[in-house]
Structure 1
Amino acid sequence: MKILLVNKFLYPRGGDCIHTLSLGQMLHKMGHTVRFYAMDHSKNIENENRSFYAKEINFSSTKLSGKFEATRRILWGTGVENGFQKLLKDFHPDIVHLNNIHSYLSPLIAKLAQKQGIKVIWTLHDYKLICPTYNCLCNGKVCEVCLTNKKNVVLRKCMKNNLLASVLAWGEAVNWNKDKLSAWTDTFICPSHFMAKKMQQGGYPADKLQVISNFIGEEQAEYIKTTTCPAQEKAYAYIGRLSREKGIDSLLKAASRLPYRLYIAGTGPLETELKKKYTANNIVFLGHLTMEDTINLLRKVCFTVIPSIWYENNPLSVIESLCCGTPVLGRDIGGIPELLESDNCNLLFAQDEELPILITKMFDTVVSNNRDELSATSLRRFSSEQYYQKWLKIVE
């Protein structure tokens, strides 16, 4: 088959980008012809089709023309149609597989593909199709009121606590609504049962929703299998974006009161603030890590912590940790429990106050864990082959 993979960025910016690139590698290995479509960006590592890509827009632009251009892209998909139509004509794909496309690209892509009789598959990495702000949070707390009435994003100023930004998010949700997106999409792939449940609450038809967990990339899996484990250190780690919804501040507050070393791997909008606030010797900020360095860190530490306060969908950070044989202490929210409840070496927490006690408990119990067994079972559970067989049933 000829498959066109679509994502707004094509470099390791986040889980959606990593998934898209890994999916492309896996499908190519399985004998399919794969091409990509994205917004043009200097960091994209897949640029074969760059002449077709949508022009880059900058949401941080201070120029009126830049803001106007970004608004037109969000509301109507301006600047997307011409290049995408040319790519469809040049490639003639059997399947257009969408990932994260809102704002920087546009759901217009689904309509254009569907009009040409091309099967459209859409993997959902966040809640943008049911929540105008994508994360089901309002003022730092879980919020679901927009699942049934999108005007609440304006009434509550959910988008950046800014009225104009919230009005724009409302306009985007109204224009690209569930009726249109359901009509243009053959199947929505939900990486978690939790996501599928929320999509149904948001009005999407159950018969268009299929659950397939994310997978670990073959390059990562091979590195885990073939490299020697580093010496284990009595330390734990957080790997992910440094932003409010990730709950990183809650973890650091707990870590600052404990004697154990915490490694923080990742960057984000809170990086500078957190480095100034938490200067204890037992808290080590590592910045962005390569794939190899991430895996080496995961195998060195005793466990990882996922303290997110938003409805995490199917986080790759959990999957990577388990595949390295490293247990996880995760918040009991969103799709996190689905990943952790099958292995008794993992723990869940609900309140921030539980963190110091449970972090200590993880250190006390980790010595009895069979990390090789956890790694082996997780590598099978989250293998690309498992994903591919389920994906194939959907597209055929």
Structure 2
Amino acid sequence: MRILLANKFYYRRGGDCIYMLNLEQLLKQHGHEVAIFSMDYPENLDSPWKKYWPKNMSKLAAFTRPFGDAEVRRKWTALLDDFKPDVVHLNNIHTQLSPVIAEIAHSRGIRVVWTLHDTKLVCPCYTCTRDGKWCEECFTDKKAVIRHKCMPGNIPGAIIGWREILKWNKDRLQACTDKFLPPSQFLADTMVKGGYSAEKMHVLCNFIDVSKVQNPSLKKEDYYVYLGRINSSKGVPTLCKAASQLPYKLIVIGGGELLPELQAQYKDCKNIEFVGQKNWDEFRPILEGARFMVLPAEWSENNPLTVIESQSLGTPVLGARIGGIPELIEEGVSGMTFASGDVEDLKAKIVSMFEGSFDYAAIAKNAQKRYNAEAYYEKIMKEYEG
């Protein structure tokens, strides 16, 4: 089968990118031909398909690219002409690529499936949060994004977000997409609340290449770890505030806009160590040696790969009770949950995680079975075949 994967970036930037990179490898291992469509970005991995990729988006292009500009249309059409895919599998494409690629593929009779990694299709600012709280106002009133200035860039950004969700509305996107694949029930339910058809939704939890997590050491040391982007929506400031008041060592893995600020703020705190961005081979031993991984998200994470990776290495997870995170954690067995954004509850649960007892071998065994790539392959092929 010839499968065309599309995502706005093509490097290990976040969960959407990691998912697509893993899926590309999985499909190739099973003998399928796979092409990639992305935006040409400096940090992208090399690819034989990059000649088809539209250039990195400029400030000026921010006013045209979200609506399907001429370059995207031209290069996407050329890729369809040359590769002739049986299936187009979309991931995060809004703004940098735009859903116009779904319409073009559909108009040619190509099957289109779309893995959803966030709530962008029902919320212009991706997160369904406002002032740190869950918000569904845009589900029924699209101008709410302008009224509350929810997008970066204040009014100009909000106007672009408003125009974008008006153009790429639920009726238009459902007409050109055969199936949406939300990785969590939470996201599927959110899409339905936003007006999408439940029949178009098929929940497919993310997966992991089990060969990457074989034979974890299960030997735990006296530290815990955060793995991910260093920003406010991930709850890292809240985590650092809690960690600075406790006697346990926290290792923070990742990069992001708040890293320099937090490094300066906690430079004298011996319990917090920032180690920066790491690749899999570098952070795997840190993650599998941790007593637990903490995910303090303050926006509705969908189906975070960091939870899947941690549990597959036998590392329990302390996760915020928000979005799809609780679906991945069996309380007291594979981890614990706490009230998102609540420093005191987070502190109490960190203590409980250190004082509790977990069967690390059982966590790894159950996670590797639950998130097995081969089981996922069988499911995704059914979606491709229709």
Q: TM-score by structure 2 length?
A: 0.96
Partners in 1 of 2:30 and 2:313 — Cα distance? 25
**Which residue number in structure 2 is paired with residue 33 of structure 1?**
33
Partners in 2 of 1:247 and 1:378 — Cα distance? 25
Is 1:254 aligned to 2:242, yes or no? yes
Give the partner amino acid of 2:205.
Answer: S
Q: 2:343 aligns with which of 333, 352, 367?
A: 352
- Cα offset for 1:70? 2.1
Is 1:141 aligned to 2:133, yes or no? yes
Root-mean-square deviation (CA, aligned residues, Å) is: 1.4
**Which residue number in structure 1 is paired with residue 88 of structure 2?**
96
Q: How does 1:154-303 map to 2 (within 5 A)?
A: 154-160=146-152, 162-216=154-208, 218=209, 221-226=210-215, 229=217, 231-279=219-267, 280-303=269-292
Partners in 2 of 1:385 and 1:18 — Cα distance? 17
Render the CA deviation track for 1:52-73: whole Å, top value 9, x for unaligned: 1112113xxxxxxxx3222110
* Over 6 Å off, 4+ runs: none
Contact 2:218 2:314 in 1 (8 A): no
Contact 1:223 1:292 in 2 (8 A): no
Render the CA deviation track for 1:155-189: whole Å, top value 9, x for unaligned: 11111371111111111111111111000100000
Contact 1:238 1:263 in 2 (8 A): yes
**Which residue number in structure 1 is paired with residue 60 of structure 2?**
68
Contact 2:311 2:334 in 1 (8 A): no
**Which residue number in structure 2 is paired with residue 2 of structure 1?**
2
Render the CA deviation track for 1:81-103: whole Å, top value 9, x for unaligned: 11110110101100000001011
Check 1:77–1:203 CA distance in 2 against 1; reply closer, same or farther (3 A cut).
Answer: farther
Which stretch has the larger CA shift, 334-343 or 271-280? 334-343
Partners in 2 of 1:203 and 1:132 — Cα distance? 15
**Which residue number in structure 2 is paired with residue 333 of structure 1?**
322
Partners in 2 of 1:77 and 1:212 — Cα distance? 31
Check 1:88–1:305 CA distance in 2 against 1; reply closer, same or farther (3 A cut).
Answer: same
Look up the SS of the partner of 1:394 in the other structure. Answer: helix
**Which residue number in structure 2 is paired with residue 81 of structure 1?**
73
Look up the SS of the partner of 1:149 in the other structure. Answer: coil
Partners in 2 of 1:15 and 1:30 — Cα distance? 23
Contact 2:218 2:313 in 1 (8 A): no
Q: 5+ unaligned residues in a row in structure 1: which ranges?
A: 59-66
Contact 1:192 1:212 in 2 (8 A): yes
Q: 5+ unaligned residues in a row in structure 2: which ranges?
A: none
Contact 1:57 1:104 in 2 (8 A): yes
Contact 2:301 2:325 in 1 (8 A): yes
Q: How many residues align?
A: 382
- Cα offset for 1:393? 1.9
Render the CA deviation track for 1:322-359: whole Å, top value 9, x for unaligned: 00100111111100010002762411111332111110
Q: TM-score by structure 1 length?
A: 0.94
